[in-house]
Amino acid sequence: MTGNPQNICTIVAKNYTSFARTLCESFLSVHPAGRCHVLFIDRTEGYIDASKENFNVYHLDEIGIPGVKELCFKYNVTELSTAVKPFFLRFLLSKPDIREIIYLDPDILVLDPLGQLFTLLGTRDIVLTPHLDMDYPEDGKFPDDSHIMKSGVFNLGFIGIRRSGNVERFLDWWAGKMRDKCVIDHGKGYFVDQRFIDLAFPMFENIHVERDTGYNVAYWNLHSRTVHCREHHWLCNGKPLYFFHFSNYKPEAPSLLSAFQNRIRLDEQPDLKKLFSMYTERLRHHGYEKSHAWPYTHGKYTNERTITDEDRRVYRSFGKRLVPGDPFDRRRYPLRLKFAMSIASFLGSWRQWARNRAIRNDGLIRRIARAVYGNFPTIDA
């Protein structure tokens, strides 16, 4: 049997503080004796008072990541947030009072006790949830099976693990992959941290796949799941809805479930719309309007110039061999590296334009962009 208190963790940049507060509040409302642990990937001085939060606060320099400054430069905020996951989980399991822990993405709302998952972790080393329990209809809408093939079988917005030799080996292996491969590169088969877990399934023992449709409900599986509210209790397919994953939801666009799907309209599902409205209210109660504008520490060079995704890609490719020391100090960059970043930035701007048009249009531009870059979009990390 698992012991108390029960522990969850998540990872955020400080502009996602309201999401972390909302997640932890929802978990503590059904697990009053539980504990929440939040890793901030950027500096919080002057923004966060840890003594006033409903979670324990950690920073990257506390959890034992070698070469952490290089990691902060070569990955963007999404990549970095996922790359440090196995390091944070390993750090938390090293604490003597934590024998098992559940990771949840910050944009998740817990709606029913997770005791069944903690009970599973009494005997299972790793617990995962798949993206799908039912295939998509062949109707030309997205997401479809191609998005899942690119994103991976499992959604890593949730993972439960317990302390064991098997998990220690798993986390060491996963952390090793995250050093250089936590990127979106479909040609090489990479999608941040997720697709590696497809490989982990046959390589490591005692992994449980939780198929209850009340866990990790999100836009990519709503084609097979119906959300209802009955007497203030949330249900999915007539059974408890344990947690909903609001992936890619933007409170400033409350009528849009996700820009990464066109299957479900909130206006056509009143209970689902009610859930999204409730979530938006909680985010705002926890300071969304203020915290969402907080700057990302690793978004600029020391000279205050913005670091682009193209800068990070070029640096990953060969720049780190040319810039010993602090990669955030652009003054140390040789001219050929700056030139390469400029060319990459120009090409990246065109790619982003094509991607945006591919998502928003169903006509000629979408077909051209699909032919050049493949089907858009991928399941959100």
**pLDDT, tens digit, for every residue of 251-308?**
999 889 998 899 999 999 999 999 999 999 999 999 999 999 999 999 999 999 999 8
Query: What is the C-alpha separation between 107 and 109, in angstroms, rounded?
Result: 7
Percentage of residues of the chain with pLDDT beyond 90: 73
Mean pLDDT of 152-158: 96
CA dihedral 91, 92, 93, 96 (to 10 degrees): 110
pLDDT tens figures, 56-66: 999 999 999 99
Model confidence at 315, in pLDDT bands (50, 70, 90)? confident
pLDDT at residue 338, rounded to an integer: 72
Biggest CA-to-CA distance, the chain: 65
User: For residue 123, is pLDDT > 90?
Assistant: yes
pLDDT over threshold 90, residue 130: yes
Q: What is the mean pLDDT of the chain?
A: 90
Model confidence at 2, in pLDDT bands (50, 70, 90)?
A: very low
Residue 358 has pLDDT above 50, yes or no: yes
- Statement: residue 212 has pLDDT above 80: yes
Q: What percent of the chain has pLDDT over 70?
A: 89
**Confidence band, pLDDT 50/70/90 cuts, at residue 322:** confident
Closest CA to 38 of 113, 101, 106, 97: 106
Q: Which of 289, 352, 301, 295 is nearest to 330 (CA)?
A: 301
Confidence of residue 356 (pLDDT cuts 50, 70, 90): low
Predicted confidence at residue 332, as pLDDT, reads: 79
d(CA 119, CA 113): 12
Whether the CB-CB separation of 105 and 88 falls below 8 Å is answered with: no
In the chain, ranges of CATH 3.90.550.10 domains: 7-291
DSSP code at position 315: I
Instruction: Report whether pLDDT(362) > 60.
Output: no
Least confident of 50-54, 119-123, 332-336, 375-379: 375-379
Q: Can you give the pLDDT at residue 337?
A: 75
Q: At residue 371, does pLDDT exceed 60?
A: no
Q: Which CATH superfamily, name and number, covers 7-291? A: Spore Coat Polysaccharide Biosynthesis Protein SpsA; Chain A (3.90.550.10)
CA–CA dist 12, 19 (Å, integer): 9
Give pLDDT, residue 323.
Answer: 78
The tens digit of pLDDT for each residue in 221-243 reads 999 999 999 988 999 999 999 99
As a whole number, mean pLDDT of residues 5-13 equals 96
Higher per-residue confidence, 359 vs 195: 195
Q: 161 has which bridge partners?
A: 101, 126
Q: In the prediction, which pLDDT does 324 show? A: 76
pLDDT at 4: 62
Strand (E) or helix (H) holding 9: strand 7-12
Q: How many angstroms separate the Cα of 341 from the Cα of each of 81, 149, 187, 305, 351?
A: 23, 31, 21, 13, 15
Which of 93, 81, 128 lies closest to 7, judged by CA?
A: 93
Question: What backbone torsions phi and psi does residue 286 show, to the nearest 5 degrees?
Answer: -95, 20
What DSSP state is assigned to residue 332? G
pLDDT at 347 over 70: no
